[in-house]
Structures are given as C-alpha cells and as structure tokens.
Amino acid sequence: MVSKGLVLTVEGAENGTNDIPTFSLDELNRCRGQLLGGGAFGKVYAINGFPGLAVKEIWLNEQPDRLKEITKFELKTMSQFSHPGVLKYHQVLTKGEFFYVVMDRYDGDLQQFIADHRRTQKPIPRESMLSILKQLADALAYVHAPYKVNERGDVLPGIVHRDLKPANVLMSKNGERVAIADFGLCKDAQHDGNTFAGSPSYMAPEVFIHRKTSRASDVWALGVIIYELVTLELPRFSRKWEPEDAKEFFVPKWKPDLSAVKDEFTRTILEKIFVLDPEERPTAKELADRLRTLNTFAGEPGDQDPVPAEKHESQVTSDDSNSKVNSSWTPLMRAAAAGDIEMVRRHLSDKDKKNSDGDTALMIAARAGHEGIVELIDPTDKNEVTALMRAAGRGDVEAVRALIPLQKGQKTYNNDYKRGGRTALMMAAVCGRTEVVRLLVEHEGGLKDKDGWTALMYAAEYGHTECVQLLAEKEEGMQDKDSKTALMHAAENDHTEYVKLLLEKEAGIKDKDGRTALMLAAIYGNIECAKLLLEKEKGMKTTCEWNGCPLGSTALILAAQCRREEVVRLLMKHEDGVSSWTSLIYAAYLGDIDAVKNNLHEKGRKDISGMTALMWAAQKGHKGAVKVLLEHEKEITDKQGRASLYYALKRGYIDLAKTIMLHEDPTDENGVTALMRAAARGDAEMVKLLIPIQKEMRDNDGNTALVFAARAGHADIVELLDSTDEDGVTALMRAAEKGNVEAVRALIPLQKGKKMMGDTHINGLRISSGTALMMAATRGHAEVVKLLVEHEGGMKDSFGKTALMVTAQGGCAECIKLLLNKETGMQNIWGSTALMLAAHNMHPECVELLMESEGSISEWTELMYAAYRGDVDSVKNNLHMKGARDIGGWTALMRAAAQGHEQVVELLTEERGMTNNSHQTALMWAARNGHPGCVRLLLEKEGGMLDKYGGTALMFAVAQDHIECIKLLLEKEAGMRDKNGWTALMRAVLVGHTECVRLLAEEEKDMKTIRERFGYLPGTTALNIAKREGRTKIASVLSG
C-alpha cells in the first residue's frame, strides 16, 4: 500500500529515528478514513492502517491571494520544523488548488481538556499542569529561536505564532503529550508584525493598542493559558478591546489581578509575564529553562532563577581561555564555548571533530552549560531521545560526564514503541556500557520506564554481568508493572550468573500472577536456574489463575503444563507432595503405560490444579495411556469443569479427541453433538475447540450448533460460530439469504434490526447497508420474510430502499403480499416507489398487487397503467390523460415502450420527446429492453436525445446487446459521446459484446475519451480498452 512499513525497531528508537511512510496521492486516497474534523477551507481525515497519522485536505480555490500566501508559508514552515512539541508535517502533496498534508494524529486539544475539568469542577492536577506548561514553553522557545537546525540540517528562522490558544494546542489521549498547531497566522520572528491577528482573549495589550505582534505577545498568550490551566477561567482582563479602551485600562502602573491563582510558583511566573512592556517579559526560552529545573514530585519548586546565559559565557571565557588558543580547537568548539549560536550554525559540519584533549564541541558546550548549543549540535528528537542517551548507548564516557548536569533524569517519550520512558542509564545497561553505568547510577538509579522496568532488569535481561553488579545495590527488589523483579527476568532468560547474584535479595517475591522466579524458570524450561532457585522457592504456590493453571499451582504444575519434562523430573523430587502428584499422574504424564497399569489403584485422584492422570495423558497426547485410563477416569472434571476431552482438543490431538469423545461426549440418538451441547450451555472455549471437528454437523431436525446457541441466547457463541464480518453482515442476514427458517427464528432475538455496513449484490440487485429482511426478500424466501417483517419492516438501506422495493425489483409476488401492510407508499432517495421499481423491472404480477396501494402516491394514471399492461381499449378510453408524468417523470408512452406494446406506442405519439427525471426517453427504454418495433416508431422524434449523463438510446441497446435495435439506431446516434467522452463502441468493448463492436467499429473506432473513467485516462481509444481488458477477438476486429 505504501512505500515502506511503519515498524520502529528498538535500535531505531534508541537512535531517535522514526519510519514514516511516503505516500502517493493514489495511496492517500485509498487509505483515507473517517472525517475527524474540518474548517472553512480544509478537512482532516484518518489514514486507515496508520492510527498515528492523519491527512489534512486544504482547498485554496477562490481564496484571497493573501490567504494563499499565509497557508503556503505555514506548510513550508511546518514541514521543516522538528520538535516534539510542534505538530509534525511529514509530507505535503499538491494537486491543482488542493494541498494534502500528512501529519501526526492527536486525540483532542487543550481547549476541550480545560472544558472537561471546568464542567466536572475538578482542578487540573498540579503535576499535569506543570507537564503541559513545560512542553508548551519548550515548544514555543523552539518556534521563536532563530537559526535552529532540524534533523536534515536545514537552518530555520524563528517565527511568531500570533494565535496561541488552547484550541491550537493538540493533546494525546492520556493528556501526557501536547503539541502546538495551526501556524496559519505566523510571521518571521525577526520582524515585528503590524497586522491585527489572533484570538482577542489571548492577545497582549500592545496588539490592541499598537497593532503590533512579537515573540513577547506569544508569551503573553502563554500566560493566559497558564492562568486558565490553574483557575479553569480566563483572566478578567482577557477580552476584545477597542484601542482607546485598551489605552485607558492598561495604564503604566497596571498590575494583573492574580488573586485566583493560589499556587505561589505559578503566580510568580504570571507576574513576570503580565507586564505591559514586552521587553520586560521573560522569553519562552527563559521560561523553558526555569521549568526544566523543576521536580514536581518534591513539593514546591524553589524561587531561584536559572543561571543567566551571560554568567555561563563569562565562566567559559575565564576557565577555558587557555584552551581557546589551542590550535586543535575548531571554530565550532570556540563558538560552542562562547554560546555563539550563529557561529555554531555555520560550523555544524565539524561537530564530530575532537581537539587534542579528545573533546568534541558537544562536550565543550555541555560543560559550559549551553543547553541551546547542545540541542543545536545533538538535538533531542521527537521521541525525546537526548544527546546524553545517545552518548550512553554508544559508551562515550566523557560526553556522558559532560552532559549529566544538563540532561540527567530525562526519559524518552511514552509512545507506542517498545520500552518508552527509558533513561540514559537504561540505554547504557542494555548496551553493556559498564563505565557509563558507573557514572549514571547515582543520578538515575531507581527510575523506571513506562513498563516499570529498571536499568537492573535490562542488564539482567541482556546479560551484562558487570552492569548487574553495579546496579544491584541501588535497584534490587524493585518490580516492574507486572511485579516482576530482575531475578525473575534473569530466570526467564536463563542467565544463571545473575540468578546467583540476585538470589539472596529477591528470592520469594511473586509477580502479579503470583509466580516466583522458580516458576518462571520452570515455565521456560531453564533447568540450571531452577536448580539454583529450588532451595529458596520450592513449594510456593501461585495466588491467581494463569494461562489455564488454577490458583494454587506449583512450579511443578506449571512445568508440566508447559511440557518441560526435564524440569518436571527435577521438581517431582521436591514438589510432588505439595502438588498432590501421585505415581499414576506422573506415569500418565510421561506416557509410561506399564507404570500406569501398575498404579491404577490411585485412579480418580486429582492434583492441586484439579487434573487427573487421564487429563495429563490427554494433554501430552499419550494415546496408549489414555486408552488404559478412559474406563477409569472418563467424565471426571477439573476445577473449571473440564474433562480430558478439553485437554486433548486444547493441544490439537484431534484423533485422540475423537476417541475420548466417544466415551465422554458422544453424539446422542437425536444427532445432538458435543459442539451443540457446548453452544447451548455457552461454553465458549469448548466451542472454539470443537468448531474444526463438528461445525457443519446437523441434528436429526437439520439444526446446527448455531441454532442451539441462538436459542439459548448466547450472542458470543453465535459470533464464534458465524461471526459478523467486516461489512457488518450477521449470522441472521446469512441465514435469511439462505432461507434457513429455523436459524432465522432462533437468531431474531439476538440480531434483529441490524444493518450491514457495506454493499452486497443478490440476484443482480445492489443492497447498501441493508437488513436481513431485505436479503430474504431479494431471494424470495417468503417464510423468512414472514418471520422478519414484524421486526425489520419499514427499515431502509442507504439508498432509501425497503424490503418491499427490493422484492418488487426481484419479482416475488408472495413476498410483496407479506410486506404490503408495513412498507407500502414509501419512497427511495430518488423518489421511486415499489410500484415503479416493479414496473421498471417488468414484473406485471407485482405491479398489479401494488397498483391499488401505491398507484396514487406514485401518481400513476389509468392511462399509464393501461399502457403498462398493453390494454389498447383502455388506452383509447383514457387518452384525455396523455401528457401526465408520475413522480419519477415517466409517461404512459415510456411505460408502453419499455414493455414493447407497439400498438399503444402508436396511440401515444403526442408524448414523444418527453423525458423522465433522469432525462430518459421512451426510445431509450425501448432500446434497453430490446423492442425494435417500438424503436422504429420512436426513432425519428427521439433519436439523438441524451439522458442526464449524456447517454443515448444506442448506448442503452449496446449495454444489453440488442443487435436489431443497434442496427436501427446506428444512422442517428453513431459517433455520439456521453459526458465522459465515452462512445457506444467503448461501452461495447468494456462489456465484451463482439457483434456490437463489429457494427460500431467503422463509425467510432478512432474516437477518444475526454475524461478519466473506470481507471482509463483521457485520450483512450476503444482499441486501448480492448487490449487492457484482454479482449483479444475484439482487439482484432478494431485493428482491421
């Protein structure tokens, strides 16, 4: 479908890469999903198959040139920006006045988030508020910053957003991620704007008074958002001001009323933002730096300001003066030390070079505390993989040492790829970077990723001994979100060395399923780990059900369930008593027939999981042991009510299961099978297991398991046996189409009234979003219609068609009688009634049945009905009604011509030339239905007329391969085109009517299409169509 897959590997995640597919316009159109939203000149759609992406369709036709310029500027800017807090435009495609933008998809916006809290009167948690604020400040700092460089090395200007507000801040579903969007009003940040733009509630005073925007006015808007996050209300001074009113209100000594802001730290920030002089407001970068120092889990933040950039620069100048004169320093290193962004930008190509001390520009910038320079040289990517994390992963000890003060404690973005929320320490542990782990453990030891994993767990899983030793003291005993310890991960992955290291501190702990490290070693068959863990953990039991093993299972039971025979032999010596394993059960498990026979005195006993010897033999597929045990233990059930048949089926031993079934669950004298009984009692698991063996079997009354499940009201079992498909077609609909009366009767209570989501074609009739009743009516299953009419009568498909209409099209008189009371008089979206459809499809018996109830609503006159029947005398008696049309625009002449009543056509010549609502003539219907006599009578007056799609009578005749009619029409209509430039010959080629092609070739073979249709481009000839469709014989005719 697309040029590359959406798979982000672990390696890619650590390196900060992300594979986004490159779409063509055709691929985008095929993948286009549901409408997500829209505005004045654009709509946003989901992209099917890519839940993290959306496509924005922008139409600029007839828009002012200024708006076109603004939109193109936004598209250019946004497609170059690369920051986790700025909506990412991955691809921009154009077609004429349309732009198609592939971008990241979010679940909501900040405006709705605030509104939800306001509605429930629940304050936004401080931690969430600060997280949102940090992301917004950091993103705005990026947007404002001049000379930033994206991941492709493009140098990007700073811009002013000019319409920052909650509605333009997108949010992830869990609220943890925000991104600034809608830059349609943005300007270059190097030049102040002098146009009035944005949303009044979020505008700074200078915008109202001086019509002037700048980065400082964006910061004011950010302040209003902060106030709204804290109080769930707008500040009182946030409204639309006239310039004179604003001057009177915002006087020089004005101060904001922040009494509603109870949080001291937030109030301090707002006091600095809400000042009238734009120059006095903090920059977004200063706000981001201040917020980055916060620890929201350690109470209130301190009041200290971050160290000013000037101080860092002076320190570097003083401390590194000797280094600067060293000839090994590149211009990039000197710029990095001085904090000179522009110079750094110019020399970025030297970022991998080292001086005589082995230092890179990145390390020099980090030691100097220049975060902005660090980001420029090695930027944090959209997954929040930092320079420190990359250095840790590659084992660059000195770079890590330099970067720790700036980036320690940060985590990767908790997105959908594996192991979100990783730290630099975890990446070092994964890669076995011992010296880096030694540096980072004091700063990041004890932190967990989104799955609760620690660095110690990673080191244990990936097998890095020295890292495990370094991390054990700090992190031993910690558990991940599944309550697993590092010891458990080591046992699971057969790392015996780490089991030895961690055994004393972590033995005896259980995970969320109540399993120990010994149990995990048993499950995975890690015999050496099991030996080490036996002394500490033998005899322990699970505290909840796991994978079919009941609560209270031992490591022995779990090993047996997982078919780990070597571990079973080991554990049998230590846990047989606590597991209640008898000699008979052990013999059955091993399949030792002689031992089974020798221990039959223990028959009927169950182990602690409730399993008997027969069940274990069935689970292991030991046919001989099963045969010996069947007569002694058949029909005994475990704690879940399962007998040995279940265990044989579960393991896929079908032949063995059939043997057991004869003893435990045989088909009875009424033909009722094990599957039918399972379906009737609602046993979903047994139903799944028995479906491959017995699904198609029927009892003596012809009923399948589906009927048993439906009668018992088990909707879930019905879905297992005959699932609703992707188009919404239900078991009831399929039964109705097949005419299965008993199945329909049973399924009605569970599935009545449902509609399919797609289209289906039955007997050549199209039903879109139809019902079971419509499917039965189309097939003419009268008994099924009788059952369904009370439940689904009156429902319409997406074209407004009813069951009565589709049966009128199909011609089932018996079904029409059943449906008349419920659906008579209804019309489809084109205004047609069942009567009209019966007439169109030439079903006279149906017309007669419908005439009395629908004649008046269809506006049929006596003349029309007589003309349809071909009743010449009645036509003569009602000629005073000529010229009338029914609600579809049909005349009496059209009805007569469609039925081939030549005498009536001759009587109604005054109606020639009239057209119905689709601009179709009597001649067209005579040609369509193959009545050459009527064609002859109508040709002179109606030949050459076009329907609303540009179709001619000749084209109608070609579609149905009516040769005699074609011969009559050739002289008047050959060479004519429809609205897409298609000729009658092209239509004949497409449907493969060879004789029609022979008649038409001389007149039309050189003509070409003028528009794209059916996948054929403009300029296509009939010969081109023949070749593409594989019509060899027709191609030969056209080439002659």
Helix (H) or strand (E) holding 537: helix 527-537
The encoded tokens of residue 856 equal: 């008046």
Q: Residues near 366 by Cβ (< 8 Å), separated by ≥ 6?
A: 374, 387, 399, 402, 403, 405, 406
Q: Does residue 562 contact residue 525 with C-beta atoms inside 8 Å?
A: yes
d(CA 52, CA 580): 52
Burial 947-961, CB ≥16 within 10 A → b, else e: beeebbbbbbbbbeb
Side-chain half-sphere CA neighbours of 1001 within 13 A: 17
Those residues with Cβ within 8 angstroms of residue 885's Cβ, 6 or more apart along the chain or in another chain? 859, 891, 914, 916
Q: Are 139 and 83 in contact (CB under 8 A)?
A: yes
Tokens of 376: 């420029």
Is the separation of the CB atoms in 587 and 595 below 8 Å?
yes
Q: What is the number of other CB atoms lying within 10 angstroms of the CB of residue 34?
A: 7
**H-type helices in 121-169, by residue range?**
126-144
Q: Which three-class secondary structure state does DSSP give residue 420?
A: coil
Q: DSSP label at 601? A: G
Query: How many residues can be counted in the chain?
Result: 1040
Contact call for residues 501 and 468 (beta carbons, < 8 A): yes
Rounded Cα gap, residues 626 and 614, in angstroms? 6
Separation CA 956–CA 737 (nearest Å) = 31
**Residue 638 token pair:** 């475990």
CA distances from 441 to 7, 405, 423, 616 (A): 31, 14, 11, 49
Q: Report the distance separating Cα 1002 and Cα 994, nearest Å.
A: 14
Beta bridge partners of 100: 57, 93
Helix (H, G, I), strand (E, B) or coil at 171: strand
> Pairing between strand 42-47 and 53-59?
antiparallel
Name beta bridge partners: 85: none
1032 by Cβ neighbours in 10 Å (0-12 / 13-18 / 19+) ranks as exposed
Rounded CA separation 537/517 (Å): 8
Residue 505 known to bind ligand: no
State the CB neighbour count (10 A cutoff) for residue 76. Answer: 11
Q: How far apart are CA 700 and CA 999, in angstroms?
A: 60
Pairing verdict, β 32-38 and 53-59: unpaired
Q: Rounded to the nearest 10 degrees, what angle do helices 331-338 and 309-319 cross at? A: 130
User: Can you point out the beta strands (E) in 850-900?
Assistant: none
Report the binding-site residues: 56
Report the binding-site residues for ATP: 56
